[in-house]
Amino acid sequence: MSIFKIFLLFPIFCFVLFNTYDGKLLVKKINNVSPQDTHKFKKPYIDSNARKEFFISDLIIPQYSKNNTRINSHDPYAYPKKKGTGVKKKEAPPKFPLPEIDTNQYNDFYLVPVYYATDRSKKENTLESYYGNSRSTKDVLDYGLMHVSIPKSHRRGNLELPNMLRVKSKYEPDKFVLIRSIETFQEDNYMLSLSSTLKNSSNKDIFIFIHGFNSTFSEGAKRTAQLYYDLGFKGLALYYSWSSNGSATDYIKDGTNAEYSYYAFKNYVQTIIKNLKPTKIHMVAHSMGNRVLTLALKSIAEENSKIKFNQVILAAPDIDAAIFERDIAPKIKNLATRYTIYTAKDDRALNASEILNGYIRLGKVNKSIAGFYTVDASNVIKGDLFNHNYFVSSTNVIDDIRALFERNEPPEKRNLVKNGDFWAIKG
């Protein structure tokens, strides 16, 4: 075979290797599982009668002998050590997650509890692809709780993910941010679990994160955990995942799905407030996720609701700037204690969006909008090819959001400088 053919075939070989190996490091075939006992264990769970193999990256599938005696641990936090060293065993998780990150329980990583709601279709293949990229055909949201591990070697502003070619290392929580477990709930039990956790927490605040364009369910979950950890947030982290297709080529479809999802998100937020009555509720939306957020807020305002949010963060919003200023901002401006719009002149993703849509995006406009504070992050952009994820990759921006969440500090008391009728983060 010529060198030229090897050069052409090598990327294909790597892609096939990556996708066929994914999830098979710890393969468990579900046989002889007692149906009466399945409720005791953390989902995901697939009925053994369906004769399916379930590929996951954690030991969370119970196995039984022929006489229904349990023969393995269901510990969702066990993970493989390096070759030849066996499996670390941890204590079983509490009934409800600890309201704050326990920094002492594990040697190599921290566990972050993340409650979620999604209108995505369910796949139940692996922890990484438990939900798909299309809309659910059901009229109700899916609810659940996941635990995401953050390695103790984590650096603020980074999301440690395995390299595509590092197959053997991709399940090591001491190196990478990983989804460790997923448990699904019906809505009533979801609210009971949230209520119990919030009641036992010293901090009664909540923040909700809404991901942007080209994001899978697992990617958004890891971002939620990273943001929660990097902010040092002491309340509850909630994650809303709309049906982004997770592909850079599906921009138009993602835009349609984002606008479709606003109604379900609005109902979710209203249900959370009604059932939990948190002290403060903050919201952070990124990129196209701001379409979900702002349309929901507009609908809430049109209902003459008395709901009042605390901090609402619009990070790199992929919204038509003129439409936002004329049709949305005047209606929603009184729904929050403070709105902050983070922008960047060199946001390449929004440059592409402007070309596709024909009009400038809100995340590139540096001007004053009544009821909203605009903060230019151009001086501190770092961490990604498209200069679009700076709200989680720049520690300067993370610190600015933290000052808002914890103290509601006005711009003049933060690390900002006045630049005309907007503010800019100091480089």
- Over residues 386-427, the pLDDT tens digits come to 999 999 999 999 999 999 999 999 999 999 999 988 999 997
pLDDT at 167 over 80: no
Rounded CA-CA distance 260/161 in Å is 30
**Which one, of 24, 160, 158, lies nearest residue 80 by Cα?**
24
Q: Which two tokens stand for residue 108?
A: 């190599």
**Phi (first) and psi of residue 143, to 5 degrees:** -120, 150
Of all residues in the chain, what percent carry a pLDDT higher than 70? 73
* CB of 206 closer than 8 Å to CB of 234: no
pLDDT at 280 over 80: yes
pLDDT in the model for residue 84: 45
pLDDT in the model for residue 160: 94
Q: How sure is the predictor about 168, in pLDDT bands with cuts at 50, 70 and 90?
A: low
Q: Show the beta-strand stretches assigned E in 8-157.
A: 26-29, 53-56, 79-80, 87-88, 109-118, 120-122, 131-135, 142-151
pLDDT in the model for residue 166: 56
Domain boundaries, the chain: 3-82, 109-425
CA dihedral 285, 291, 295, 301 (to 10 degrees): 40
* CB of 136 closer than 8 Å to CB of 119: yes
Share the mean pLDDT of the chain: 80
The distance in angstroms from the start CA to the end CA of the chain is 53
Which residues face 185 on adjacent strands? 143
CA atoms within 13 A of residue 133's CA, in its CB half-sphere: 15
pLDDT in the model for residue 105: 56
What are the start-end ranges of the H helices in 277-360? Answer: 289-302, 321-323, 329-332, 348-357
pLDDT in the model for residue 169: 55
Q: How crowded is residue 163: how many other Cβ atoms within 10 Å of its Cβ?
A: 10
Rounded CA-CA distance 94/19 in Å is 34
Q: Show the beta-strand stretches assigned E in 102-190.
A: 109-118, 120-122, 131-135, 142-151, 178-185
**pLDDT per residue over 329-359, tens digit each?**
999 999 999 999 999 999 999 999 999 999 9
Q: Which two tokens stand for residue 265?
A: 């998100």
Q: How sure is the predictor about 97, in pLDDT bands with cuts at 50, 70 and 90?
A: very low
Q: Which amino acid does the sequence have at 214?
A: N
* CB of 376 closer than 8 Å to CB of 135: no
CATH class of the region 109-425: alpha beta
pLDDT at 236 over 60: yes
Rounded CA-CA distance 42/262 in Å is 30
Rounded CA-CA distance 44/179 in Å is 12
Rounded CA-CA distance 304/35 in Å is 48
* CB of 42 closer than 8 Å to CB of 60: yes
For the segment 57-74, the average pLDDT, to the nearest whole number, is 32
Q: How crowded is residue 267: how many other Cβ atoms within 10 Å of its Cβ?
A: 15
Judged by DSSP in three states, 375 sits in strand
pTM of structure: 0.77
pLDDT in the model for residue 10: 52
